[in-house]
């Protein structure tokens, strides 16, 4: 078993098909995009709190 993004992936007995590979890549891309959005919003929140603290 291999671990990809904390998800246990069992090796298929047959060679991985292109469709499976594409869906896996798409899933990883979506996951990455979601993570980046989370990080961006977190940073924005931090900047907002810091600026509000310095204003007072």
Angstrom CA distances, 14 to 6, 8, 11, 27, 48, stand at 23, 18, 8, 21, 52
Residue count of the chain: 56
Domains of the chain, by residue range, sit at 2-55
Judged by DSSP in three states, 12 sits in coil
4-46 pLDDT tens trace? 555 566 665 566 677 777 788 888 888 888 888 888 998 898 8
What is this structure's pTM? 0.41
8 A C-beta contact, residue 2 and residue 9: yes
What would the two tokens of residue 19 be? Answer: 């469709």
* Residue that the structure tokens 């998800």 belong to: 7
Q: What angle do CA 29, 20, 14 make, to 5 degrees?
A: 145
């Amino acid at each position: 078993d291999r671990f990809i993004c904390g998800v246990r992936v069992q090796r298929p007995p047959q060679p991985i098909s292109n469709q499976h590979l594409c869906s896996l890549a798409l899933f990883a891309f979506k996951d990455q995009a979601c993570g980046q959005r989370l990080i961006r919003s977190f940073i924005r929140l931090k900047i907002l709190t810091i600026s509000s603290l310095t204003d007072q």
